[in-house]
């Protein structure tokens, strides 16, 4: 048969195995290029639903010259948030599957050509979109999986420039997502048993997303570990190596809100160790529900066959709230201390890091429900508490240099020229030059062909097409500054 190739942007090891099996590939060569995006700053903000629109509006107002995408879970929320932004004087367009093809095309065109800086959309927006200068992606609601989140958030910063990915979430988001999974999935082509397997799989995916919101670990590390990659000083891109090396030495990557310590934590070491011991006591044979019951001393009939009263861990956590035990167990699974087996009965087993829980120096924390202000922090990530008044969002992300006033003024003039040229040729502005190239141009201020070719992202073809006009703008700017 002919050679077969399969390509995807975000696939865990389990999904890669499924792809190989479903396509019937024989001894395939599997290449994983790495998942870390070191130019992206990841932020998680726990915020009541009633404050989310104000938070988004404040961020958009503070970044008027940047392109951004705001993802919403429903069409109704998409349209409502778009109306709110426009009423507050922040130009935005909506995009969702319920709009006519002409309306969707117009919205996409206005966003791609920088006519409108912000698009508010459902997950219908994004496939085939390659706008390189998206500076931020905000998720107004909790996505259904890490895969979905990373694909959508990854539309920021494709030009390599510092960009921001912020997730707004609350406990209500989790409840809504779980209810939809339990009640809204029906497929007449599947048996009830197969449907339940699908539900369990989707619950595990959602648990990974919930774990991302609650983890105290570096968000870059959490994300890459989920996809089977461990950041280390000897792996990844040069920027990725710097992040990993810094994390290993100081515990701070400088590229996520967790490493900026903008939250409070709860020590759950005792709970985590008890859970690990209970998994051992039951011989890795039962699901999370039974483990929680045993730890809290339940004498439920469905536990009788296990003789739980004889187990050392029976009732060990009777003083701990059931929801807390479940949260810790879920977090341990997402952090690799436990693993959840595939199939109709999701059995809790030991994960790759299970042995760490038995170490004398083992320590485990989860994120406190309430966040505190980060006003005293480094200032890079700012701080966002649970009120709209606290939406003091940041301006710069990982690795961002701070241009002086002259550079910023020239950058804006170069952007205006880029927009004019893009309109003349009927192409998106980033096709002319990326923001990264314009930033470098503003820094170097080239006025000769040789200098222009030294700018990042400029080749002979772009020099021939646009060089003269950009150098004229730079020369005029230099003359004005000198006078």
Residue 387 lies in a domain: no
Q: Which tokens hold the place of 140?
A: 């107004």
The count of structural domains within the chain is 4
Q: Which pLDDT score is estimated for 320?
A: 94
Q: Which tokens hold the place of 184?
A: 């809204």
Do 237 and 298 lie in one domain? The reply is no
Residue 378 lies in a domain: no
Range of the domain at 147: 40-260
Residue 377 lies in a domain: no
Gap between the Cα atoms of 279 and 284, Å rounded: 5
Q: For the packed helices 322-334 and 192-214, what is the interaxial angle rounded to 10 degrees?
A: 90
Q: Which of 480, 466, 325, 319 is nearest to 409 (CA)?
A: 480
Which of the two residues, 368 and 304, has the higher pLDDT score? 304
User: For position 105, which CATH number holds?
Assistant: 3.40.50.300
Strand partners, 44: 167
% helix / strand / coil in the chain, to the nearest 5? Answer: 50, 10, 40
pLDDT tens digits, 192-242? 777 777 887 888 889 889 889 988 888 998 988 888 877 654 333 334 444
Gap between the Cα atoms of 85 and 271, Å rounded: 44
Which of the two residues, 470 and 382, has the higher pLDDT score? 470
> Does residue 463 register a pLDDT over 50?
yes
pLDDT tens digits, 276-286? 999 999 999 99
User: For position 339, which CATH number holds?
Assistant: 1.10.10.10
Q: Are 78 and 131 in contact (CB under 8 A)?
A: no
Banded model confidence at residue 249, pLDDT cuts 50, 70, 90 = very low
Final residue before a domain boundary, out of 260, 283, 312? 260
Return all residues near 319 (Cβ < 8 A) that are at least 6 apart: none
Return all residues near 33 (Cβ < 8 A) that are at least 6 apart: none
Q: Which pLDDT score is estimated for 374?
A: 31
Do 56 and 181 lie in one domain? The reply is yes
Q: Are 287 and 346 in contact (CB under 8 A)?
A: yes
Banded model confidence at residue 186, pLDDT cuts 50, 70, 90 = low
Do 65 and 169 lie in one domain? The reply is yes
Residue 379 lies in a domain: no
User: For position 432, which CATH number holds?
Assistant: 1.10.150.80
Do 313 and 235 lie in one domain? The reply is no
Q: Are 257 and 268 in contact (CB under 8 A)?
A: no
Do 254 and 270 lie in one domain? The reply is no
> Does residue 246 register a pLDDT over 50?
no
Q: Are 372 and 385 in contact (CB under 8 A)?
A: yes
Banded model confidence at residue 295, pLDDT cuts 50, 70, 90 = very high
Q: Buried (b) or exposed (e) across 95-127, using 16+ Cβ within 10 A?
A: bbeebeeeebeebbebbbbbebbbbbbbbebbe
Do 203 and 244 lie in one domain? The reply is yes
Banded model confidence at residue 344, pLDDT cuts 50, 70, 90 = low
Residue 325 lies in a domain: yes
Residue 394 lies in a domain: no
Do 173 and 275 lie in one domain? The reply is no
Residue 51 lies in a domain: yes
Average pLDDT of the residues in 244-270 = 71
Q: Which pLDDT score is estimated for 32?
A: 80
Average pLDDT of the residues in 8-13 = 78
Banded model confidence at residue 260, pLDDT cuts 50, 70, 90 = confident
pTM (predicted TM-score): 0.68
283 burial via Cβ count (<10 Å: 0-12, 13-18, 19+): exposed
Residue 375 lies in a domain: no
Pinpoint the alpha helices (H) of 343-382: none
* 76-80, 293-297, 395-399: least confidently modelled range: 395-399
Characterize the bridge pairing of strands 40-46 and 118-121.
Answer: unpaired
Show the beta-strand stretches assigned E in 354-478: 365-367
Return all residues near 435 (Cβ < 8 A) that are at least 6 apart: 132, 133, 135, 159, 161, 415
Strand partners, 164: 41, 136
Do 430 and 296 lie in one domain? The reply is no
Do 298 and 222 lie in one domain? The reply is no
Q: Which pLDDT score is estimated for 77?
A: 94
pLDDT tens digits, 320-343? 999 889 889 988 987 889 988 765
> Does residue 245 register a pLDDT over 70?
no
Q: Which of 218, 318, 207, 213 is nearest to 271 (CA)?
A: 318
Please compute, for residue 421, the number of CA atoms within 13 A of its CA located in the half-sphere on the CB side. Answer: 19
Do 136 and 172 lie in one domain? The reply is yes
> Does residue 82 register a pLDDT over 50?
yes
* 97-106, 315-324, 339-348: least confidently modelled range: 339-348
Average pLDDT of the residues in 398-426 = 77
pLDDT tens digits, 134-156? 999 999 999 999 999 999 999 99
Return all residues near 134 (Cβ < 8 A) that are at least 6 apart: 67, 68, 69, 155, 156, 157, 158, 163
pLDDT tens digits, 25-45? 888 888 887 788 889 999 999
Q: Are 281 and 342 in contact (CB under 8 A)?
A: no
Strand partners, 138: 70, 166
pLDDT tens digits, 375-394? 333 333 333 333 333 344 33
Do 236 and 285 lie in one domain? The reply is no
Q: Which of 255, 222, 258, 265 is nearest to 364 (CA)?
A: 265
Phi, psi of 197 (to 5 degrees): -60, -40
How many residues in total does the chain contain? 483
Do 356 and 451 lie in one domain? The reply is no
């Amino acid at each position: 048969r002919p050679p077969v190739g399969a390509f995807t942007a975000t696939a865990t090891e389990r999904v890669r195995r499924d792809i190989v099996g479903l396509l019937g590939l024989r001894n395939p060569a599997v290449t994983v290029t790495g998942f870390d995006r070191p130019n992206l700053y990841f932020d998680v903000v726990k915020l009541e639903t009633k404050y989310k629109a104000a938070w988004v509006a404040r961020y958009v107002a503070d970044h008027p010259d940047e392109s951004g995408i705001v993802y919403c879970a429903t069409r109704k929320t998409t349209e409502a948030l778009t109306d709110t932004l426009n009423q507050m004087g922040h130009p935005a367009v909506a995009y969702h599957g319920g709009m006519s093809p002409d309306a969707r095309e117009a919205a996409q065109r206005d966003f791609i050509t920088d006519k409108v800086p912000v698009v508010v959309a459902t997950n219908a927006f994004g496939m085939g979109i390659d706008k390189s200068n998206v500076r931020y992606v905000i998720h107004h609601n909790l996505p259904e999986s890490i895969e979905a989140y990373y694909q959508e958030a990854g539309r920021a910063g494709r030009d390599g420039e510092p960009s921001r990915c912020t997730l707004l979430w609350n406990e209500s988001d989790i409840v809504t997502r779980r209810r939809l999974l339990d009640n809204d999935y029906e497929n007449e082509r599947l048996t009830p048993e197969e449907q339940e397997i699908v539900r369990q799989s989707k619950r595990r995916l959602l648990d990974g997303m919930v774990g991302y919101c609650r983890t105290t670990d570096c968000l870059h590390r959490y994300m890459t570990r989920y996809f089977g990659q461990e950041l280390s000083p000897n792996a990844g891109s040069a920027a990725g190596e710097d992040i990993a090396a810094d994390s290993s030495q100081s515990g701070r990557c400088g590229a996520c809100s967790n490493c900026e310590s903008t939250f409070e934590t709860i020590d759950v070491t005792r709970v985590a160790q008890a859970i690990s011991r209970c998994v051992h006591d039951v011989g890795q044979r039962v699901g999370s529900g039974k483990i929680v019951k045993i730890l809290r001393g339940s004498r439920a009939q469905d536990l009788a066959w296990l003789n739980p009263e004889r187990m050392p861990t029976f009732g060990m956590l009777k003083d701990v709230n059931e929801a807390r035990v479940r949260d810790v167990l879920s977090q341990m699974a997402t952090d690799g201390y436990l693993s959840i087996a595939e199939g109709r009965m999701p059995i809790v087993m030991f994960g790759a890091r299970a042995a760490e829980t038995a170490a004398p120096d083992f320590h485990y924390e989860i994120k406190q429900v309430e966040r505190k202000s980060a006003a005293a922090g480094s200032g890079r990530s700012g701080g966002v508490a649970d009120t709209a008044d606290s939406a003091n969002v940041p301006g710069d992300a990982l690795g961002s240099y701070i241009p002086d006033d002259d550079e910023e003024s020239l950058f804006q003039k170069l952007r205006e020229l880029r927009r004019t040229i893009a309109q003349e040729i009927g192409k998106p502005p980033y096709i002319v030059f990326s923001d990264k190239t314009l930033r470098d141009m503003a820094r170097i201020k080239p006025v000769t062909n040789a200098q222009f070719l030294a700018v990042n992202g400029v080749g002979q073809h772009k020099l021939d097409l646009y060089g003269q006009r950009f150098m004229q703008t730079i020369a005029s700017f230099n003359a004005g500054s000198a006078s």
